[in-house]
Amino acid sequence: VEGAVFGLYSAQNIKDADGNVILPADSLIAQVESGEDGKAVFRQDLAPGKYYVKQVKAPAGYVASSEVI
């Protein structure tokens, strides 16, 4: 569906090579909106770690999903 907004979040504290936290858990990294083809693509250069995606906003006439991907 076109027009849905998704957020990319850190699922854990992301640390640098020295063990310093560079991105706290549950930080919003980026948001993207799905295009005409219904795809939402994140193009961030991410440090090793765990991340998740969730819908931030639904298009008009739809209800946002609370599912974490």
Q: How far is CA 33 from the centre of its chain?
A: 11
Q: Which of 65, 46, 47, 45 lies closest to 56, judged by CA?
A: 65
How confident is the model at residue 64, as a pLDDT?
A: 86
In contact, 57 and 50? CB cutoff 8 Å: no
Report the candidate in 16, 4, 12 with the shortest Cα–Cα distance to residue 58: 4
pTM of the model: 0.88
Q: What is the pLDDT of residues 14-62, one digit of tens each?
A: 999 999 999 999 999 999 999 999 999 999 999 999 999 999 999 989 9
Q: How far apart are CA 1 and CA 41, in angstroms?
A: 13
pLDDT score of 65 more than 90: no
CA distance 32 to 40: 6
